[in-house]
C-alpha cells in the first residue's frame, strides 16, 4: 500500500469514528423524553396498545412538548429463530417490530425496545447474553431507536463488561440507538458508564407511592422521595450525554395532584429522563397539564445540562436550585411532609456558589432576578439584594413551589 493511500484510509477511519461518536452524543444532549409501557401495563402489551399510545402522543400535544420515544418494555419478545435472531411475540405483535417502527416513525416519533444482559429478562423472555451483536443488528434492521437494557439473571456476568459489550454492539450496528442502562445502581454505574450509556438507572424500581418504600423479601421498590434522596448525592456524575435515571414517571397513575406536581417538578430539577408511565390514552386534564407544562420541561431540558442541587433543608422544607443557561436559575421548595408548611422567603438566605459542578453563584446580594412562578405561570416581581422577608409562603403538603429566576 502506498503512503498516500494509507494516510487517506487512516483519515477516513478516524473521520467515521468521530462522526459515529458524535451521532451517539447527540442522542442525549438533554435528558430523553418519551413513554414506557412498564409502570402501567407491566408485561401486558401488544401492538394495538403501542399504536394507540403513539396516536395519543400526537393528538394530545405530548409529542410537540418533547416526548418522542415510545418504549416497549418487557414481554414484546417471542423466540429466537433457527439462526438465533430474536423475533417478536407473534400473538401480540403479529405485524412484527419493523411495521411498528414504521407506524411510529410516520408520526414523528421514535421506537424503543427492551432487553436484558442476562440469560432471561426479568419477566422470563430471552435475554441478550451471548447474542449481543446479533440483537443490536436485529434492532437496527427493525429501525429501532432506543434500547433499555436490564440486569436480571446475570449470575457471574461482569456489569461493566456486559454494558460495554452491548454499547459496542449498538455502535457497530450503524444506527444511532439510545442506550438506557437499567442496572439499578447496584454496581455504581455513574462511576464507570459515562462513555458506555446515555443514561443509567440509579436505584430500584419506582412504585406509585410518594413517601413509602415497598419492601419484598428479596428486593424493594422506591417511592418518589426515595428516588430523590438517592439521586441527591449523584449530581456530579450527570451531564450532557450521560444522565442519572431515577426511573420512569408515575404521574397520572394514582398519586394526588399535589404529589404528581411535586414528582414531575423534582424530575425536572434533577435533569432526569422524562419517561411517562401512565396510560396517556385516558389521562385527566390535570395530568395532561402537568406533563405538558413547558416551563417545567424547559428546566429539565435546559442546555446548560446541570442536575439540580439540594442546598439545604429547613423547618421541614427542602430547598433546591438548578443553574440554567443565560445565567437563570430554577428554584424549588419541596414539602415532603404530610402537612402544609409556612415559610418566610428571604433571597439573602440563598447566596451560594455551586462549587461541585457548575461553579456558578446565585449572588442574590448583587444581582436582581425576575421571579416567575412556574405552576401559576405568573410573574411575581423581583428578588431583592437586601436582607428582608420577600414573601410569606405556604407550601402545601407533598407539593412544591417552583420559580424560574430570570436575569
Active site residues per annotation: 150, 205
| Binding residues with ligand GLA: total (CB under 6 A) | 9
Residue of this chain nearest to ligand GLA (CB atom): 122
Angle between helices 132-141 and 159-172 (to 10 degrees): 40
Q: How far is the CB of 70 from ligand GLA (least distance, A)?
A: 15
When asked if residue 222 is in the footprint of ligand GLA (CB under 6 A), the reply is: no
Q: Three cell numbers at 56? A: 395519543
Q: Which helix (H) or strand (E) holds 243?
A: strand 243-245
When asked if residue 181 is in the footprint of ligand GLA (CB under 6 A), the reply is: no
Q: Judged by CB under 6 A, which of 145, 205, 250, 318 binds ligand GLA?
A: 205
* Backbone φ and ψ of 160, nearest 5°: -65, -40
Q: How far is the CB of 255 from ligand GLA (least distance, A)?
A: 18
Q: How far is the CB of 205 from ligand GLA (least distance, A)?
A: 5
Q: How far is the CB of 245 from ligand GLA (least distance, A)?
A: 10
Stretch binding ligand GLA (CB under 6 A), from 5-13, 118-126, 170-178, 260-268: 118-126
In DSSP notation, 313-376 reads EETTEEEEEEE-GGG-EEEEEEE-SSS-EEEEE-GGGG--B-TTTT--B--TTT---EEEETTT
Q: How far is the CB of 182 from ligand GLA (least distance, A)?
A: 5
When asked if residue 399 is in the footprint of ligand GLA (CB under 6 A), the reply is: no
When asked if residue 73 is in the footprint of ligand GLA (CB under 6 A), the reply is: yes
When asked if residue 74 is in the footprint of ligand GLA (CB under 6 A), the reply is: yes
When asked if residue 318 is in the footprint of ligand GLA (CB under 6 A), the reply is: no
Cα–Cα distance list, 37 to 144, 179, 246, 247 (Å): 16, 17, 17, 13
The sign one gets for the Cα dihedral 81, 85, 91, 96 is negative
Which residue, chain included where needed, has cell 412504585?
207
Indicate the residue among 129 and 331 with the shorter CB distance to ligand GLA.
129
Stretch binding ligand GLA (CB under 6 A), from 20-28, 47-55, 117-125, 305-313: 117-125
Q: How far is the CB of 251 from ligand GLA (least distance, A)?
A: 16
When asked if residue 123 is in the footprint of ligand GLA (CB under 6 A), the reply is: yes
Stretch binding ligand GLA (CB under 6 A), from 20-28, 116-124, 188-196, 349-357: 116-124
Q: Three cell numbers at 185? A: 445502581
Q: How far is the CB of 36 from ligand GLA (least distance, A)?
A: 8
Indicate the residue among 76 and 319 with the shorter CB distance to ligand GLA.
76
Q: How far is the CB of 333 from ligand GLA (least distance, A)?
A: 30
What's the CA gap between 31 and 301, in Å, rounded?
6
How many C-beta atoms surround the C-beta of residue 132 within 10 A? 20
Indicate the residue among 121 and 362 with the shorter CB distance to ligand GLA.
121
Stretch binding ligand GLA (CB under 6 A), from 77-85, 120-128, 307-315, 399-407: 120-128
Indicate the residue among 182 and 280 with the shorter CB distance to ligand GLA.
182
What's the CA gap between 181 and 295, in Å, rounded?
28
Q: Judged by CB under 6 A, which of 53, 182, 269, 296 binds ligand GLA?
A: 182
Indicate the residue among 122 and 165 with the shorter CB distance to ligand GLA.
122
The sign one gets for the Cα dihedral 263, 269, 270, 276 is positive
Indicate the residue among 182 and 341 with the shorter CB distance to ligand GLA.
182
What's the CA gap between 389 and 375, in Å, rounded?
22
When asked if residue 38 is in the footprint of ligand GLA (CB under 6 A), the reply is: yes
What's the CA gap between 281 and 287, in Å, rounded?
12
Residue 213 · residue 222 · CB < 8 Å: yes
What's the CA gap between 195 and 385, in Å, rounded?
42
Q: Quick one: how far is CA 319 from the chain centroid?
A: 22
Distance in angstroms between the alpha carbons of the first and the last residue of the chain: 60
When asked if residue 150 is in the footprint of ligand GLA (CB under 6 A), the reply is: yes
When asked if residue 145 is in the footprint of ligand GLA (CB under 6 A), the reply is: no
In DSSP notation, 4-22 reads HHHHHHHHHHHHHHHHHHH
Indicate the residue among 166 and 345 with the shorter CB distance to ligand GLA.
166
Which residue, chain included where needed, has cell 414504521?
102
Return residues touching ligand GLA (CB under 6 A).
38, 73-74, 121-123, 150, 182, 205
Amino acid at each position: 500500500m502506498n503512503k498516500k493511500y494509507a494516510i487517506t484510509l487512516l483519515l477516513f477511519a478516524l473521520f467515521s469514528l468521530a462522526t459515529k461518536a458524535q451521532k451517539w452524543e447527540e442522542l442525549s444532549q438533554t435528558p430523553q423524553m418519551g413513554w414506557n409501557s412498564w409502570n402501567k401495563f407491566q408485561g401486558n402489551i401488544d401492538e394495538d396498545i403501542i399504536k394507540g399510545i403513539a396516536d395519543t402522543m400526537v393528538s394530545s400535544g405530548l409529542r410537540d412538548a418533547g416526548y418522542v420515544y415510545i418504549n416497549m418494555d418487557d414481554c414484546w419478545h417471542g423466540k429466537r429463530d433457527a439462526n438465533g435472531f430474536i423475533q417478536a411475540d407473534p400473538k401480540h405483535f403479529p405485524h412484527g417490530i419493523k411495521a411498528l417502527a414504521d407506524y411510529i416513525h410516520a408520526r414523528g416519533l421514535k421506537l424503543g425496545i427492551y432487553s436484558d444482559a442476562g440469560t432471561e429478562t426479568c419477566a422470563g423472555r430471552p435475554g441478550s447474553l451471548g447474542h449481543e451483536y446479533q440483537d443490536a443488528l436485529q434492532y437496527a434492521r427493525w429501525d429501532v431507536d432506543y434500547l433499555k437494557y436490564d440486569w436480571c439473571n446475570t449470575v457471574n456476568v461482569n456489569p461493566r463488561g456486559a454494558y460495554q459489550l452491548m454499547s459496542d454492539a449498538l455502535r457497530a450496528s450503524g444506527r444511532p440507538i439510545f442506550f438506557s442502562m437499567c442496572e439499578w445502581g447496584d454496581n455504581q454505574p455513574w462511576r464507570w458508564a459515562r462513555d458506555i450509556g446515555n443514561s443509567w438507572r440509579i436505584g430500584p424500581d419506582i412504585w406509585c407511592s410518594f413517601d413509602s418504600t415497598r419492601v419484598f423479601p428479596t428486593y424493594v421498590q422506591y417511592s418518589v422521595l426515595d428516588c430523590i434522596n438517592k439521586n441527591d448525592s449523584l449530581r456530579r456524575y450527570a451531564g450532557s450525554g450521560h444522565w442519572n435515571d431515577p426511573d420512569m414517571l408515575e404521574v397520572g397513575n394514582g398519586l394526588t395532584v399535589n404529589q404528581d406536581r411535586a414528582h414531575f417538578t423534582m424530575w425536572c430539577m434533577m435533569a432526569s429522563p422524562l419517561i411517562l408511565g401512565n396510560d396517556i390514552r385516558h389521562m385527566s386534564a390535570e395530568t395532561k397539564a402537568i406533563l405538558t407544562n413547558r416551563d417545567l420541561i424547559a428546566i429539565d431540558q435546559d442546555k446548560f445540562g446541570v442536575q439540580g442541587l439540594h442546598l439545604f433543608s429547613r423547618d421541614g422544607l427542602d430547598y433546591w436550585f438548578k443553574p440554567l443557561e443565560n445565567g437563570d436559575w430554577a428554584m424549588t421548595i419541596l414539602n415532603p411532609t404530610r402537612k402544609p408548611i409556612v415559610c418566610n422567603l428571604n433571597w439573602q438566605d440563598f447566596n451560594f456558589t455551586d462549587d461541585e459542578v457548575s461553579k456558578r453563584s446565585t449572588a442574590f446580594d448583587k444581582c436582581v432576578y425576575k421571579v416567575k412562578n412556574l405552576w401559576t405561570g405568573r410573574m411575581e416581581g423581583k428578588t431583592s439584594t437586601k436582607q428582608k422577608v420577600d414573601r410569606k409562603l405556604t407550601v402545601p403538603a407533598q407539593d412544591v413551589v417552583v420559580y424560574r429566576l430570570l436575569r
